Amino acid sequence: MKSEKRCTLDKFKNLISTNRVVLFLKGKVSFPMCGLSGNVCSMLRKNGVDFIEINILEDPELYLLLKEECVSATAPYLFVEGKFIGGYDEIKLLFETEKLVGAVR
C-alpha cells in the first residue's frame, strides 16, 4: 500500500504532466483566498492564458509537497509543461516585462 506522501507525489506529478498550465493557489479563480493568488489569476486572465486551478487549501498534503518541491513558502505556484515557472514574484516580473505570454505558450 502506498504511503500518503507517495500518493500525494503521484497526484502532483499527474497534474503537472497531463495539463499544460497549472496554477496551484489558495482558493479558486472565482474566489481567491489571498491577494497574491488573486493577483496571479488576474495576470494570467489579462494575458489570455488558459490554465487549470488547484485549490491547495483543500489538500494540505499537496500544499506541503509544493512548499518542498518549489522551495517557496507561499502560494501561488505556476507550472507550465511540468516545469515550475515561479511564485508570485516571478510571475509578476514576467507580467511587468511582458514576458508572461512567452513563458506560458
pLDDT tens, position by position, 54-94: 999 999 999 999 988 887 778 999 999 999 999 999 999 99
Please state whether beta strands 21-25 and 52-55 pair in parallel, antiparallel, or not at all (unpaired).
parallel
- pTM over 0.85, yes/no: yes
10-60 pLDDT per residue, tens = 999 999 999 999 999 999 999 999 999 999 999 999 999 999 999 999 999
Q: Which CATH superfamily includes the segment(s) 4-104? A: Glutaredoxin (3.40.30.10)
* Cα–Cα distance measured from residue 55 to residue 15, given in angstroms and rounded to the nearest whole number: 12
Rounded Cα distance, 30 and 17, in Å: 24
User: Which pLDDT value is given to residue 72?
Assistant: 75
Q: Locate the domains of the chain by residue range.
A: 4-104
Q: What confidence score (pLDDT) does residue 1 get?
A: 45
